[in-house]
Amino acid sequence: MTEHKPETLLLTVSGKDRPGVTSAMFTTLTRAGVEVLDIEQIVLRRRLILGILVTAPRDWKRLRAAIEETAAALGMSVEVDRGIGDNKVRREGRSHVTVIGAPLKAAAMAAVAGRIADSGANIDRIERMARYPVTAIDLHVSGTDPDRLRALLSAEAAAQGVDIAVQSANLLRRAMRLIVMDVDSTLIQGEVIELLAAHSGHRAEVAAVTERAMRGELDFEESLRARVSLLAGIPSTALDEVYDELVLAPGARTLVRTLRRLNYRFALVSGGFSQITDRLADDLGIHYTRANELEIVDGVLTGRIVGDVVDRAGKASALRYFAEQVGVPLEAVVAIGDGANDLDMLGIAGLGIAYNAKQLVQDAADTTVNVPYLDAIIYLLGISREEVEAFDAEYGVVTPAPPL
């Protein structure tokens, strides 16, 4: 027996937005006794586009005339299309594709849309997550495997100079999650060990070795022990001076403040030093930390590390441990880092983000964020700038106004 598909009407209302449009349209539909099947509405620069899918009454032409009359009275235009059946169920292979640019140019969006079409997928919905200080757009895509789509768009992101994140559309995006962050050149600007080395006159030498280690050219533990040896003789009070010199990445406080309100948990996992990371954690409200401990004897740095070194494998181990402590699966962990020693933890996290990272790391990570704002990561989690600012306003936090 052939399944009967009901006739439907798609009403598309457009025009200058004003109060009462949606109410008036549904009042008219109420008189016809129709059933509402789907609704979509957007407002762009005070222009309203309202789509309503309803069951078609027997005298659908009379309803069309009534809808047209209502729209005309509101100064709006309306199209009424008659068809068969409900809105199509979105296909398998659903993803969120977040595009971030500063600026985001039309050519970049054309390229992204083109690659999505090439994959055989469809863009079901588009919404803006932020317009300042970056433009962030979230595309709801269906019809292709997220991993395949990620590979296609990764190359396009590099070619267009934008950041693109592809994530499976599932409930984990809305669940409580654990954020695990590197510290040096991620949470903070610069490298703590270089600031310390300035107190012993070895800053340039240490910086050169650090750069090679972050590119993966040197064994991390060996290079760290060599660099720390150059800190021997520095008074421990230099740690206080270095802490006072630290500059957080733009948006770091916003990222932590916003996600803590949503019950996210945070961990710092660093190849740096616990004497610094523990203080950062206290300052920002970070729940967990793991880092190397500098040996201090009689108020002076000895040039040695206490215990095992937190290296590439150590960071991944720490991430697993903190996920167990929080009680979330690895799929619910977001890892953020910039250097070669972050690769393992980025690889095992549900979402690994290379933040202003070395090319080696960008090539290996799930996604890259190259804009200089750490809170841009919020947009990858489905949270808009407007929601962040509204939430902040409730707590008396003032955010800079965007340019007109």
Looking up residue 328, the CATH number of its domain turns out to be 3.40.50.1000
Q: Give the CA distances from residue 260 to residues 177, 257, 266, 379, in Å, rounded to whole numbers and listed in that order.
A: 10, 5, 8, 15
Q: Calculate mean pLDDT across residues 43-55.
A: 90
- Judgement on whether residues 257 and 167 belong to the same structural domain of the protein: no
Residue after which a domain boundary falls, among 118, 149, 173 = 173
Is the pLDDT assigned to residue 323 strictly greater than 50? yes
Give me the number of domains the chain comprises: 3
pLDDT at position 93 is 80
pLDDT greater at residue 117 or residue 396: 117
Residue 40 three-state SS = strand
User: Could you read off the pLDDT of 209-255 as tens digits, one per residue?
Assistant: 888 888 888 888 888 999 999 899 999 999 999 999 999 999 999 99
pLDDT at position 15 is 94
User: Could you read off the pLDDT of 57-77 as tens digits, one per residue?
Assistant: 999 999 999 999 999 999 999
Does 219 reside within a domain?
A: yes
pLDDT greater at residue 266 or residue 121: 266
Question: CA-based angle 259:262:267, to the nearest 5?
Answer: 45
User: Could you read off the pLDDT of 339-356 as tens digits, one per residue?
Assistant: 999 999 999 999 999 999
Alpha-carbon gap, residue 226 to 230, rounded angstroms: 7
- Judgement on whether residues 233 and 361 belong to the same structural domain of the protein: yes
Known catalytic residues are 182, 184
User: Could you read off the pLDDT of 353-369 as tens digits, one per residue?
Assistant: 999 999 999 988 888 99
Beta-bridge mates of residue 141:
95, 123
Omega prior to 103 cis, within 30 of 0: yes
Range of the domain at 57: 7-84
**By the 8 A CB rule, do 239 and 275 touch?**
yes
Q: What is the mean pLDDT of the chain?
A: 91
- Judgement on whether residues 269 and 289 belong to the same structural domain of the protein: yes
Write the single-letter amino acid at 226.
A
- Judgement on whether residues 203 and 350 belong to the same structural domain of the protein: yes
Is the pLDDT assigned to residue 324 strictly greater than 90? yes
Strands 95-101 and 135-142: antiparallel
Is the pLDDT assigned to residue 122 strictly greater than 70? yes
- Judgement on whether residues 23 and 134 belong to the same structural domain of the protein: no
Does 184 reside within a domain?
A: yes
Alpha-carbon gap, residue 313 to 337, rounded angstroms: 14
pLDDT band of residue 5 (cuts 50, 70, 90) is low
Does 273 reside within a domain?
A: yes
- Judgement on whether residues 224 and 262 belong to the same structural domain of the protein: yes
Residue 9 three-state SS = strand
Is the pLDDT assigned to residue 1 strictly greater than 50? no
Write the single-letter amino acid at 266.
F
Alpha-carbon gap, residue 181 to 248, rounded angstroms: 13
- Judgement on whether residues 195 and 328 belong to the same structural domain of the protein: yes
Does 287 reside within a domain?
A: yes
- Judgement on whether residues 193 and 300 belong to the same structural domain of the protein: yes
- Judgement on whether residues 134 and 237 belong to the same structural domain of the protein: no
Is the pLDDT assigned to residue 3 strictly greater than 90? no
pLDDT at position 90 is 56
- Judgement on whether residues 58 and 183 belong to the same structural domain of the protein: no
Does 352 reside within a domain?
A: yes
pLDDT greater at residue 214 or residue 1: 214
| Strands of the sheet with 300-306, listed across from one edge | 300-306, 288-297, 265-273, 178-181, 333-337, 351-355, 367-369
Residue after which a domain boundary falls, among 50, 84, 118 = 84
Beta strands in 28-73 (DSSP E): 36-44, 47-55
Does 326 reside within a domain?
A: yes
Does 377 reside within a domain?
A: no
Instruction: Tell me which H or E stretch contains 118.
Output: helix 106-118
* CATH number of the domain encompassing residue 162: 3.30.70.260
Q: How many residues does the chain have?
A: 404
Does 66 reside within a domain?
A: yes
Here the tokens at position 124 are 């079901």
- Judgement on whether residues 226 and 350 belong to the same structural domain of the protein: yes
Nearby residues of 38 by Cβ (< 8 Å), 6 or more positions away: 51, 52, 53, 86, 87
User: Could you read off the pLDDT of 256-291 as tens digits, one per residue?
Assistant: 999 999 999 999 999 999 999 999 999 999 999 999
pLDDT at position 210 is 85
Q: Residues 111, 117, 123, 128: what is their CA dihedral angle, to the nearest 10 degrees? A: 0
- Judgement on whether residues 224 and 361 belong to the same structural domain of the protein: yes
Q: Is 331 exposed, middle or buried (0-12, 13-18, 19+ CB in 10 A)?
A: middle
Is the pLDDT assigned to residue 91 strictly greater than 80? no
pLDDT at position 4 is 54
pLDDT at position 346 is 96
Q: Calculate mean pLDDT across residues 295-323.
A: 96
Q: Give the CA distances from residue 188 to residues 97, 131, 224, 272, 332, in Å, rounded to whole numbers and listed in that order.
A: 27, 24, 19, 12, 24
**By the 8 A CB rule, do 230 and 303 touch?**
yes
- Cβ density class 251-268: b for 16+ within 10 Å, e for less: bbbbbbbbbbeeebbbbb
- Characterise 105 by phi-psi region: left (phi > 0), alpha (psi -120 to 50), beta (else): beta
Residue after which a domain boundary falls, among 131, 158, 173 = 173
User: Could you read off the pLDDT of 149-197 as tens digits, one per residue?
Assistant: 998 898 899 899 999 999 988 777 767 689 999 999 999 999 999 999 9
